[in-house]
Structure 1
Amino acid sequence: MLDGEVRKLIDPALERIGARLAAAGVSADSVTVAGGAIGLAAAAAIAFQFYLAGLALLLASRLCDGLDGAIARATKPSDYGGYLDIVLDFVFYGAIPLGFIIANPAANAVAGGVLIFSFYINGSTFLAFAILAERHDMISNSRGDKSLYFTTGLAEGTETIAVFSAFCLFPGIFPILAYVFAAVCFYTALSRIVLAGRQFGRR
């Protein structure tokens, strides 16, 4: 929901930094992989209850996630780069809740499991819509120049990072926050299903 507005604020700086990194010979794929590795390190820190370190690492991971696209646009975007980016995004989105489950299974396991389940459903609606949109030659620039068709929704990247940050700042209420955000993700998935029915139901 907020990704469009946030992109307007951060994209100019990311584009400048990305262009400089590209000129220095840094590849987009290497930044994507680095971001994925840092995201897994964030999950590990959280699992060991180093929540503020986990917060710093997850924010660094998402910075890499923004920079890889900027570097690609400054050079030559590739289909594999887009594929790698979305795969590692989903690795990150699953790893952070898993870190909280490991940190305190008694308190967090059920809520964390529900949240990961909601990500699974939400992600499937997103990717399936993107496949059909590609088949029907649909184009969207609502979230910038992306390798996949991006459907907007209530739960997008900005909201997810905000909630993950809140998890780290207030780990004692992880279950409450997880259930609330899972409900938001389920709603977003349902809205995409309805949208897909309207868009593709008669094709």
Structure 2
Amino acid sequence: MLDTAARQVLARPLADLARLVDHPRVSPNRLTLLGLATGLASAAAAAGHLWWWALALWWFSRAMDGLDGPLARRRRAAAHTPETGAGGFLDITADFTVYGATVVGVAIGATSQHGASWLPFMAVLLAYYVNGAAFLAFSSIAERTGRQRDDGRSLSFLGGLAEGTETIIVHSLWLAFPAHADVIATLWAAVVGVSAVQRIVAGARDLA
């Protein structure tokens, strides 16, 4: 829901930052992998009750995730080369891995330290799974049938109530307030569930 507005606000700062880090040793894929590594470290820190470390690592991970695309576009523009899709594939795979790992890490930390229930976190993972299946299936079929949505990203994204910006905010909240992580997860699972239904309906309508 907030992704379009967030991308408009952050486009210029990220482009400027991409210019600053544009060095031969810094590649978009290395930024993606750095975001993956720090995202997994955030999950491990949460599991070990190192909540503020987990939050800092989460933000750094998402900053790398936001920076790899602008750097890739800058490199392609300079070299006049087309997009291959390999970077986008790596990026979305890393995102799914980090999102899932963070849910598990928070669940381990919150249940062991604060006696939280596992059920809300399992519901979040299920909702993530359905959402991912819906938009990845749509992207693949839309590409094959010429009905893709082009917003500058590697895949055709179906909008919804829960998008990347909301995910960053909610994951930040349960890392900052782990004693209430299960309550946050319960509400988030409901929001992501609604978003999954939205994507299924929208995808079916677009492809009909």
TM category, shorter? over 0.9
**Among candidates 166, 178, 182, match of residue 185 of structure 2:** 178
1:100–1:108: 8 Å Cα contact kept in structure 2?
no
TM-score (norm 1): 0.93
SS in 1 for 2:157: coil
Summarize the alignment of residues 159-174 of structure 1 with structure 2, pairs less than 5 Å apart.
159-174=166-181
Q: Residue type matched to 2:144 in 1? A: R
**Cα distance in 1 between the residues matched to 2:96 and 2:105:** 14
- Greater shift, 130-139 or 39-48, is seen at 130-139
Number of aligned residue pairs: 199
Match of 2:102 in 1: 96
2:110–2:179: 8 Å Cα contact kept in structure 1?
no
* Residues 23-61 of structure 1 deviation map (CA, whole Å, 9 limit, x = unaligned): 444110000000000000000110011111111100000
Question: How far did 1:92 drift?
Answer: 0.7
Gaps of 5+ in 1: none
Match of 1:119 in 2: 128
Question: How far did 1:198 drift?
Answer: 1.5
Aligned-residue identity in percent: 39
Match of 1:53 in 2: 53
Q: Are 1:156 and 2:156 counterparts?
A: no
* Residues 114-140 of structure 1 deviation map (CA, whole Å, 9 limit, x = unaligned): 111111111111111111211122343
Match of 1:133 in 2: 142
**Cα distance in 2 between the residues matched to 1:24 and 1:135:** 35
Q: Residue type matched to 2:12 in 1? A: P
TM-score (norm 2): 0.91
SS in 2 for 1:120: helix
Q: Are 1:196 and 2:203 counterparts?
A: yes
Question: How far did 1:8 drift?
Answer: 1.2
**Cα distance in 1 between the residues matched to 2:23 and 2:52:** 33
**Cα distance in 1 between the residues matched to 2:36 and 2:137:** 23
**Cα distance in 1 between the residues matched to 2:54 and 2:129:** 23
* Residues 121-166 of structure 1 deviation map (CA, whole Å, 9 limit, x = unaligned): 1111111111121112234344xx1111111111000000100011
Runs of 4+ aligned structure 1 residues displaced above 4 Å come to none
Question: How far did 1:195 drift?
Answer: 1.2
Match of 1:68 in 2: 68
Q: Residue type matched to 1:38 in 2? A: T
* Residues 167-200 of structure 1 deviation map (CA, whole Å, 9 limit, x = unaligned): 0111111111111111111111111111122222
The CA RMSD over aligned residues, in Å, is: 1.4
